[in-house]
Amino acid sequence: MQNRRVHNANMSAVAGRMSGFGTQVDSATAANVLKNTYWLLGLTLAFSALTAYLSMGMAFNPIMHYGAFFAALAITFVIHKVANSVWGLVLAFAFTGLLGLTLGPIIGFYVSMGAAETVTTALGLTAFAFFGLSGFALVSKKDFSFLSSFLTVGFFVIVGAIVISLFVQSSAFSLAISAAVVLFASAAILYETSAIVHGGQTNYILAAVSLYAQIYNLFISLLNILMAFAGDD
């Protein structure tokens, strides 16, 4: 389905901008960054869910969809400039709210098709994957900085595949991209959580925005995969 294909391609593009591991910080500082990150992540997820709910009744409009998506993408660049000010918080909510707006019509469409259970399953799998991956990084305290190269290469490979998919209309290829995004987002969650634990990420706004993007990518890609196997492509 065209809506699903376009949306999947867009979600993959949000994936980049991971933080490199820098100077180590004390455990108290890392714990504080982690706490603030999860608080902000929870609030932005709730806000995104609200904007998605408010837009569920809207018909899918490519112009509005692309406008909201590219506005959100532009905001990620600005956030890095103002992440140490209150504007960083404002833009974090703007970013997640705009992406929520792009989710609403897609979810509403699938619900109207009678695929509400599939949407719920995708949401449950996303939550399970996030808490499992993030929890593993926290409990094991393993340094996942070695994933940096994989994420860099993976980002460009996925972007390249998305460009090709614009010219090659193939459900199998689209499904492969979704699977690749799931792997990429999973690795990015491990990397970002580990960066917080080991002091490589000390700004909770940037950390929350990065983790939100990966949760967003996971949900959309898992939804695409589940819909494909359900025969609703």
- Tell me the mean pLDDT in the region 135-143: 91
pTM, entire model: 0.86
Residue identified by tokens 């990150």 is: 37
For all residues of the chain together, what is the average pLDDT? 84
Q: Are 61 and 106 in contact, with CB atoms under 8 Å apart?
A: no
Six-digit token pair at 71?
């506005």
Residue identified by tokens 């897609």 is: 106
List, for residues 141-166, the tens digit of each pLDDT value: 898 989 988 999 988 998 888 888 87
DSSP state of 230: T
- Tell me the mean pLDDT in the region 100-125: 90
List, for residues 95-109, the tens digit of each pLDDT value: 999 999 889 888 988
C-alpha distances out from residue 34 to 73, 177, 233, Å: 24, 31, 39
Amino acid, single-letter form, for residue 141: K
